[in-house]
Amino acid sequence: MGVRLVVVDEHRLLAEALASALKLRGHRVLAAAAPVAGAVDLVIGRAPEVCLLGTAAPAAPGAFEPVVRIRRERPQVAVVVLGPVPSPRGIAAAFAAGAAGYVRHDERIEGVERALLKARAGEAAVAPQLLQGAFAELLHPSARPDDEGQRLLRLLTRREVEVLVRVAEGEDTRLIAAGMGIAPSTARTHVQRVLMKLGVGSRLEAAALAARTGLLDRVVPGPRNTL
């Protein structure tokens, strides 16, 4: 019996192509839509068995927030994430948010179909090797002191680390300046230095890099504005 599902992806053409392929295989696609931000409302309105949720950046802050909300509002709906080749940390983040599975973008349609059927049956819909890495990261998170996140962290001063944390939290120059008790021009200079040291061209890229490498996970919490 076919799966009753919705397909959501930031790229409408991909969502529609997947929907068409799955319909041809006997599945009932209730909707194929973009953007991902509307996934929760779509799931609530259509009540599928499975939501196939595409993401282009599993390491980006808030990437799996729709999964969290779907599981909170409609816990009976299984969510299968469709994304790029992930790190164990990315897979772990998807499962921690409540996803029932993770399928790579380069998977064949047969693999996507198997994942949907497993998710509907309450099974983990993910390749064994990816699942093993994800569970290892969830159960035994390692600091990996010599990894990329730690290397980047060593490039920054204590004040630049605070600036990066504030950038990752979405603060603009005015808020950074007010929160740190410095002039906006000084805050702007700090931000530019952080971008230069990290080798990125924008605040969004800096936040994404910090999330992807786990850099912010290595920041020791402490009182701000004391530097």
Tell me the average pLDDT of the chain.
Answer: 84
Q: Which residues on neighbouring strands pair with residue 83, listed in sequence order? A: 104
Assigned token pair, 147: 């990894």
Asked if residue 146 has pLDDT above 60, the reply is no
pLDDT of residue 90: 74
pLDDT of residue 185: 93
pLDDT of residue 204: 82
Residue 76: band (very low, low, confident or very high) from pLDDT cuts 50, 70, 90: very high
Residue 145: band (very low, low, confident or very high) from pLDDT cuts 50, 70, 90: very low
Comparing 92-106, 133-147, 170-184, the range with the smallest average pLDDT is: 133-147
Predicted confidence (pLDDT) per residue in 159-213, tens digit: 999 999 999 888 899 999 999 999 999 999 999 999 988 888 888 888 878 877 7
What average pLDDT score do residues 125-136 get?
72
In three state form, how does the secondary structure of 166-222 look?
A: HHHCCCCHHHHHHHHCCCHHHHHHHHHHHHHHHCCCCHHHHHHHHHHHCHHHHCCCC
pLDDT of residue 62: 78
Predicted confidence (pLDDT) per residue in 201-223, tens digit: 888 888 878 877 777 776 755 44
pLDDT of residue 223: 47
Distance CA 165, CA 61 (A): 12
Greatest mean pLDDT range, 43-47, 138-142, 223-227: 43-47
190-221: burial string, b at 16+ Cβ within 10 Å, e else: bbebbbeebebeebeebbbbbbbbbbbebbee
pTM above 0.75, yes or no: no
Residue 27: band (very low, low, confident or very high) from pLDDT cuts 50, 70, 90: very high
pLDDT of residue 18: 92
